[in-house]
Structure 1
Amino acid sequence: MDPAWIFAYVLLGAGTGFMAGLFGIGGGGIMVPALTLLFIAQGFEAEYLVHLALGTSLAAIVPTACASVFTHHQHKAILWPVVVRLVPGIVVGTFAATFVAAYLPPVFLALFFSAFMFLVAAQMLLNRVPSPANQLPGVLGLSAVGTAIGGVSALVAIGGGTMTVPFLTWCKVRLPSAIATSAAVGLPIALAGAVGYAINGASVLGLPERSLGFVYWPAVVCMAAASLFTAPLGARLTHRLPIPLLKCFFAALLVALALQMLWTVLTG
């Protein structure tokens, strides 16, 4: 692979890793539109660009999530009983949604992705967090919530933090613990999603060399290697710095990337 592409993937992985650790998100909001642009520039088959970006993003999130979880666990901020109750539904929802995504056209996936990113950005900019008047639900309730989070996460290639963090804070969980718990939840989402996209793209023709289904491994390796160094840095800052201004910048970035995603797919 050309050194220029290697550098581009490493740079992308470094940025998304830092954001993943800082906000408890998977980084798909940044990776998917950026990967789509990079894949177009490399001349990959247009029909499966978004699918390939989604699967590659989820696979790259796995090591990022591991590094982020380890750092948050050192701060004893992860609510492991909550994670255990969310995981069964998350795995089912994520894996099932990859089978749905395999049959959806790229334009629909791009529209769904962009609409979701706009909602996330609006929530960040408006800072509209529901009044913490609710308690965490029981096992069945958390499993149902996990299934919904996993399903949406697979369709937009996120670690689930954009839904998990607001849900936990709504249930009276402190923000640092919500972010840390969300990071732990992101790991099974990424694993189930990556496996699902790999399986569903296994029989597809015209994918680039060194791909396993809808997972392009050269990009995964480069991004993951960089994110392993930057994800712990972001996770440490979560427990040291106020992040309202950073949230505003991140929200603005999400809007820009969502618009770029729409432009790339609709005009490509």
Structure 2
Amino acid sequence: MSDTLLLVFYCTLLGSGVGFLAGLLGIGGGLVIVPVLSSILIHFEVLPHEQVIIVAVATSLASILFTSTSSAIAHHKNGNVPWDLAPWIMTGVALGALLSGFMAALLPEQVVRIVFAVSVTLIALKMFYSSSKKELDNERNMPNKSVLTTFTTITGGLSAMIGIGGGALLVPLLTFFSIDIKKAIGCASACGIVIALFGSVGYITSGTSHFALQEGFVGFVYLPALVGIVCTSWFMAPIGAKSIQHLPVPTIKKIFAALLLVMAVNMAVS
């Protein structure tokens, strides 16, 4: 088996796991894809080490475009996408993702990673704590649409910057404002499509001067890895989305908090 076919095979295994997580938790799977794909690219010596992270991030975003689409369709069928809020949230994440994709090569990556890791750790601890106690009776009101769009612009920018679909930040944000977690996950799945689309445009455009199609790249996106991930994640996402109907909310929150902590540690040490 050639190295390229073996790489694609490893990526199909990766896609199976991230597809299920995408459907279950509304995440695009980038928190798993980026570190694992980075290791795969390094193992097969696909490109210089200093370019591995940006290629992993770009390829992750491109795969999330497909995975989140499959997940969002499944959540829509289950009535878990709040379409009255989704357009405002999508507007913000689209703007943030597009700007982040174009500025990928200019931003101080290490500083962003540290800030992001600290923020995600605090969010994870808050969500884990809230899943371990009875919810308070008082509900927080959703902010006006312009404030919500500002929040989601920041969310979309940070998500695209590190190659995740946005659920890791959107779900805690929406549940903070008393949105049911199942609907928050459904909304995050739909928004993951927007983040992936606009983020990928930025990474493809900014990467055209670094790699050629003949080498297996479209901008910073590595096509063999993309094909491997998507061919399994597309089918696993609906299975994860169906599973959410049978899991208690506290359990979902604990799983989500644990994954956030994994992502925070990865961002801090990588």
Q: Specify if TM > 0.5.
A: yes
- Bigger Cα displacement from structure 2, 63-72 vs 142-151: 142-151
Distance 2:53 2:71 in 1: 26
Deviations 1:115-153 (A, max 9, x none): 555445444544479966322222212221221111111
Whether the 8 Å CA contact 2:127–2:172 is kept in 1: the answer is no
* 1:104 Cα offset (Å): 3.8
Cα shift at 1:159: 1.2
Closer/same/farther in 2, CA of residues 254 and 164 from structure 1, 3 Å limit:
closer
Q: Which residue does 2:41 correspond to in 1?
A: 39
Q: Which moved more, 1:49-58 or 1:240-249?
A: 240-249
Q: 1:36 to 1:208 in 2, by over 3 A?
A: farther
Give the TM-score, by structure 2 length: 0.86
Q: Is the 8 A contact 1:33 1:258 kept in 2?
A: no
Identity %: 36
Q: Which residue pairs with 1:56 in the alignment?
A: 59
Contact 2:167/2:188 (<8 A) preserved: yes
Give the conservation status (yes or no) of the 8 Å contact 2:74–2:242.
yes
* 2:166 aligned with 1:165: no
Which residue among 87, 91, 96 is the counterpart of 2:94?
Answer: 91
Give the aligned residue type for 1:37: S
The residue type paired with residue 95 of structure 1 is L
Gaps of 5+ in 2: none
**Aligned with 1:181 (options 167, 170, 187):** 187
CA distance in 2 between counterparts of 1:37 and 1:261 reads 14
Please tell me whether the aligned partners of residues 92 and 151 of structure 2 are also in contact (alpha carbons under 8 angstroms).
yes
| Distance change (3 Å), C-alpha of 1:206 and 1:42 | farther
Tell whether 2:226 aligns with 1:223: no
Contact 2:97–2:156 (8 Å) recurs in 1: yes
Deviation at 1:103, TM superposition (A): 2.1
Cα distance 1:144–1:110, how it changes in 2: closer, same or farther (>3 A)?
closer
1:168 Cα deviation after fit: 1.5
Instruction: Name the CA shift for 1:24/1:256 in 2 (closer, same or farther; >3 Å).
Output: closer
Unpaired stretches in structure 1, ≥5 consecutive residues: none
CA distances 1:149-172 after superposition (whole Å, capped 9, x unpaired): 111111121111112111212222
Alpha-carbon offset, residue 206 of structure 1: 8.9
Supply the distance in 1 between the matched residues of 2:27 and 2:127 (Cα, whole angstroms): 13
What TM-score results when the alignment is normalised by the length of structure 1? 0.87
How many pairs does the alignment contain?
A: 264
Provide the residue aligned with 1:210 in structure 2: 216
Q: Return the alpha-carbon distance in structure 2 between the equivalents of residues 206 and 257 of structure 1.
A: 31
Change (3 A) 1:16 1:116: farther
Establish whether residue 3 from structure 1 lines up as the match of residue 5 from structure 2.
Answer: yes
Deviations 1:55-80 (A, max 9, x none): 00000001111111111111112111
| Cα drift, residue 89 of structure 1 | 1.8
Indicate if the aligned counterparts of 1:45 and 1:207 stay in contact, CA closer than 8 A: no
